[in-house]
Structure 1
Amino acid sequence: MNLLQRMFKKESLSNYMRDDKLLAKTLTAKDLIGLGVGAVIGTGIFILPGTVAATTAGPGIVFSFIIAAIICGMAAMAYAELSSAMPIAGSAYSYGNVIFGEVVGWVLGWALILEYLLAVAAVSTGWSAYFAHLINPIMKLPTAISGPFDPAKGTYINLVAVIIVLLISWMLSYGLNESKKIQNVMVLVKIAIIILFIVVGFFFIKSSNLHPFIPKRLNGAFGIQGVLAGASMVFFAFLGFDAVSTSAAEVKNPKRDMPIGIIGTLVIAAVLYALVSLVLTGMVPYQELNVGDPVAFALASVGQNWASLVVTIGALAGMFTMMVTMIYSGSRLVYSIGRDGLLPKKLGKIDMHSSQPKNALKLVTIIIAVLGGLVPLDRLTELVNMGTLLAFMFVSVGVIPLRRRTDMNHDGYRMPGYPVLPILSAAFSLFLMTQLRIDTLITSAIWFVLGLVLYLTYGIKHSKLNDK
């Protein structure tokens, strides 16, 4: 077997199923929706509808969210099919190993490691900022512990960001049975605050603010083109549902529950985003919404001055649930790669007392805490989109060879519109990758080159596939 053949050697689904059987099966469709909504709906719902309406789409932002949800839904259906047919840990990493071969699985895993770690680190710093705003009337955090390491500005560590990451990881270390209760409560708090805004705001809608619903083309924005441009801008608001698929090995009835969890997450998110957009642009003329906190601004503009507190609590709950899902998903991903020997095998061990991959969770926690506490992340967070879109593309294409496999019991959910929709989904993901900034593409290329070097010097030598 030459090097190229060895790199594309495929893992057996039955081997993965055997390795993952030690993971406790505790999750239901409701829990998966809690994880999914927790990841997808964060602070973006309080910001994006206003800013994109003001600059690009006007009240037509409602259509932008619906279009983005439909496009994202194609990838969601592909994930639902693969996770139903292959209820294993590791999401796109493991699917890539089984369907395309080890090197493709590694590249996808390497991309998702970047996605999960950077996403949580960035959100932890946002959580810290909102927390500081919440307690500001009572006390002000010392400058030295309120930002990344930057002695010139007097900041040395973002201590709150570190503490919230450690707290969530500690919670997850006790197992999903306890963690999911807290996660589900926080998701309900977040949704309750969003619904409260929708209900209260509904009574302050002025029909004149919604007319015309799609403003005329002006200065490169608005019109149908503005609605479509808005869809590409808000597409990333739906990212995060893919993290649900990392939990497939811990689901009680994956063939039924995985599709419900993934697609249900997207439907709930789409409805909430569209309703918030409609109410927001109905309360205030869209031209005035290009502010940092459009939801709070809209409520204050109609005399509802409790807005700041409510939005802050909603944002904190949103970011908390997102971090829970992503830290959990990141630990399962690292466990899966360690399970296969491509990273140190200790990372692929399951703690017998808690049925959790505690070594993987510890590593993920340390890296995220260091990034969130010490490193400025402003220019790196767009790499999250690159990793996600790459996974979307391969998962969408993966539906086609999956249907041709005869060695799997594929009697669960099937993506409709085969093979047209899988190809369209992959094509759209590829197109969005080409729209990312050039420096993002260059940084991503460097990351993938480092990943391939690590694979060729360590992973391929220690892989469990060498024993088969």
Structure 2
Amino acid sequence: MSSLFRKKPLETLSAQSKSKSLARTLSAFDLTLLGIGCVIGTGIFVITGTVAATGAGPALIISFILAGLACALAAFCYAEFSSSIPISGSVYSYSYSYVTLGELLAFLIGWDLMLEYVIALSAVATGWSSYFQSLLAGFNLHIPAALTGAPGSTPGAVFNLPAAVIILLITAIVSRGVKESTRFNNVIVLMKIAIILLFIIVGIGYVKPDNWSPFMPFGMKGVILSAATVFFAYLGFDAVSNASEEVKNPQKNMPVGIISALAVCTVLYIAVSLVLTGMMPYAKLNVGDPVSFALKFVGQDAVAGIISVGAIIGITTVMLALLYAQVRLTFAMSRDGLLPGLFAKVHPSFKTPFRNTWLTGIVAAGIAGFINLGTLAHLVNMGTLAAFTVISIAVIVLRKKHPEIKASFRVPFVPVVPIISAGICIWFMYSLPGVTWLSFVIWIAVGTLVYFLYSRKHSLLNK
């Protein structure tokens, strides 16, 4: 039993954080745009309309504020961990679950996040495919029906070719180097922000306050349930923490990147929600492209076309950040012996986990191409909420057991803030469907089996 809760020495984490196997090239600006690139995408271009029409009405802004609050509290915890000993692996290492809570829980959290990132990457690629095919249709171009979606998604569909191809293209970019990836990401994110601001500027002139009445048609219960749903829209700021081993001056830049990304995204979500629900009746927004649809509703077809292109661009950067986060997570777990050594091998020229990147990209492309994701997407929310709960608890344990650790950013009012953060996350988890809980339990059970059959024996701590 004691081996299940063996803990990694802090000296090991410190040594890994100083490793030069990954090149340190990223600034606070790069980190901020990496976070924005992952957060602003499917949530703002798709989820806003669906949730407004079916769960919250104009009170969607309250749902976004509640979800943003839960993320902000968790972001404080991420910022403290990432500014103390910067090391890849997201909550797997940053919550110091390996140091504070033991190896088994550390592995299961890593296993949980592996599912989150891969499913999210595949789901976002599927959304990208839909927007891309819609854009082609506008030019009277059509992909053969057999290649438009996964089996069962549309009549005659066999393989979602656009989704698989875009994942492989993103894989090629990420595998070449982190600086090359962030240059591409930075340009695209700045374009995406400009397009969102264009919608706000144009749309605000068509806002009718009457459309905000009734403000809360589904009651407070609908607002809370919607907050758990739109939580998906915030996923990605934690991906910033995976980059810490490739950041210049991480103790200073990591907290700035994490908190700045979340702050910018929250402001944009609230502004878009207000304008969107003010432009037209909320009940009509249950469409796949609500932002473009609202502009067409008020006769701004040209701007709607620009927004559609912006959605495709925006979703592309989400995939880049998700793939990047997944690869750095498995890199960290492999380095500790909990996954095969293949995942930790660094390319001699590119200084990236090259084989790991391509293996992850091929698996995600296969999932997006052949599997109709459906309710599996709910696992993304469940996995992230579980991770946020652990990091909130771990910051309390870390402060108690290792007061000697110094961080450039410290969570205020410990343990009150972490306890509130964990409570909100558990509250959101409770509101998710039963099938999501069942799927999550099955995945964790599989992870437990993998740990006992492989990871426990091959762990560096075991040696």
TM-score above 0.5, yes or no: yes
| Residue identity opposite 2:8 in structure 1 | E
Residue 264 of structure 1 is matched in structure 2 by 260
Moved more, 352-361 or 153-162: 153-162
The aligned runs of 1:84-123 (5 Å cut-off) are 84-94=83-93, 95-123=96-124
Report the equivalent of 2:271. 275
- After superposition, give the CA deviation of every residue in 1:40-75 in whole Å (9 maximum; x if it has no partner): 111221233333333343333223322321222111
Aligned to 1:67: 66
Q: Structure 1 pair 126/292, CA: closer, same or farther in 2 (3 Å)?
A: closer
Q: Which is worse superposed, 405-414 or 80-89? A: 405-414
Could you tell me how far apart the structure 2 residues matched to 1:246 and 1:408 are? 24
Distance in 2 (CA, whole Å) between partners of 1:85 and 1:151 is 46
> Normalised by the size of structure 1, how large is the TM-score?
0.93
Structure 1's 145 and 408: CA in aligned 2 closer, same or farther, altered over 3 A? Answer: farther
| Structure 2 CA distance for partners of 1:155 and 1:399, relative to 1, 3 Å | same
Distance 1:392 1:166, change over 3 A: same
Cα distance change on mapping 1:152 and 1:376 into 2, 3 Å: closer
Task: Give 2:147's aligned residue.
Answer: 145
Query: How many equivalent residue pairs?
Result: 458
In structure 2, relative to structure 1, the CA distance for the partners of 1:387 and 1:152 (3 Å cut) is closer
One-letter identity of the residue aligned with 2:88: A
Residue 29 of structure 1 pairs with residue 31 of structure 2: no
Specify which of 7, 10, 13 is matched with residue 13 of structure 1: 10
For the residue of structure 1 that corresponds to 2:190, the secondary structure is helix
SS at match of 2:20: helix
| Map 1:375-386 → 2, pairs under 5 A | 375-386=371-382
Name the structure 2 match of 1:424. 420
Aligned to 2:360: 364
> 2:232–2:380: 8 Å Cα contact kept in structure 1?
no
Unpaired runs of at least 5, structure 2: none
Aligned residue for 1:313?
Answer: 309
Counterparts of 1:69 and 1:403 in 2: how far apart (Å)? Answer: 25
- Which segment drifts farther, 180-189 or 20-29? 20-29
* Gap change, CA 1:152 and 1:40, over 3 Å in 2: closer
Counterpart-to-counterpart distance in 2, 1:453 and 1:195: 48
**CA distance in structure 2 between the aligned counterparts of 1:280 and 1:242, rounded to whole angstroms:** 27
Q: Does the Cα contact within 8 Å between 2:7 and 2:103 map onto a contact in 1?
A: yes
Q: Secondary structure at the match of 2:377?
A: coil
Residue 75 of structure 2 is matched in structure 1 by 76
Contact in 2 for aligned 1:11/1:97 (Cα 8 Å): yes
Matching residue of 1:347: 343
| Secondary structure of residue in 2 paired with 1:359 | helix
Cα distance, 1:244 vs structure 2: 1.0
SS in 2 for 1:26: coil
Q: 1:16: how far off? A: 3.4
Q: Could you tell me how far apart the structure 2 residues matched to 1:265 and 1:176 are?
A: 18
For 2:301, what is the secondary structure of its paired residue? coil
1:51 paired with 2:50, answer: yes
Letter in 2 for 1:417: F
Distance in 1, matches of 2:410 and 2:135, equals 46
Cα distance change of structure 1 residues 124 and 333 upon mapping to structure 2, 3 Å threshold: same
> Any idea what the Cα deviations from partners look like across 1:86-123, whole Å, max 9, x if unmatched?
21001111232122111111000000010011111111
CA–CA distance in structure 2, aligned partners of residues 443 and 302 of structure 1: 42
The 3-state SS of whatever aligns with 1:87 is coil
Between 1:446-455 and 1:227-236, the stretch displaced more is: 227-236
Contact 2:81-2:407 within 8 A present in 1 as well: no
Higher alpha-carbon deviation: 28-37 or 311-320: 311-320
Q: Residue 452 of structure 2 aligns to which amino acid in structure 1?
A: L
- Determine if contact 1:146/1:160 at 8 Å carries over to the other structure: yes
TM-score (norm 2): 0.94
- Aligned-pair CA distance for 1:18: 2.9
Cα distance in 2 for partners of 1:44, 1:235 equals: 9
Q: What are the residue-to-residue correspondences of 1:164-203 with 2, within 5 Å? A: 164-203=166-205
Which residue number in structure 1 is paired with residue 230 of structure 2? 234
Q: Which secondary structure state, in structure 1, belongs to the residue aligned with residue 461 of structure 2?
A: helix
CA drift of 1:38 comes to 1.0
Query: 2:389 matched to which residue of 1?
Result: 393
Q: CA deviation at 1:181?
A: 0.8
Deviation at 1:408, TM superposition (A): 5.3
Query: Is contact 1:340-1:348 (8 Å) kept?
Result: no
For 2:389 and 2:293, locate their aligned partners in 1 and report how far apart those are by CA, in whole Å. 38
Q: Which SS does the other structure have where 1:155 is aligned?
A: coil
- What is the CA distance between 1:292 and its match in structure 2? 3.3
Choose from 283, 286, 304 the match for 2:282: 286
3-state SS of paired residue (2:104): helix
Match of 1:295 in 2: 291
Indicate if the aligned counterparts of 1:204 and 1:302 stay in contact, CA closer than 8 A.
Answer: yes
Query: Aligned partners of 1:373, 1:225: CA distance in 2, in Å?
Result: 36
1:149 deviates by 4.3
The equivalent position to 1:325 in structure 2, one of 321, 324, 334, is 321
CA deviations 1:296-350 (Å, max 9, x no partner) are 2221122101244223212211211110001011111111111111111121122
Secondary structure of 1:465's aligned partner? coil
- Taking only the aligned residue pairs, the percentage that are identical comes to 45
Change (3 A) 1:292 1:147: closer
User: How far off its partner does 1:153 sit?
Assistant: 4.1
Query: Which has the larger displacement, 130-139 or 330-339?
Result: 130-139
Query: Which segment is superposed worse, 404-413 or 345-354?
Result: 404-413
Cα 1:399–1:30 shift into 2, 3 Å: same
Aligned match of 2:125: 124
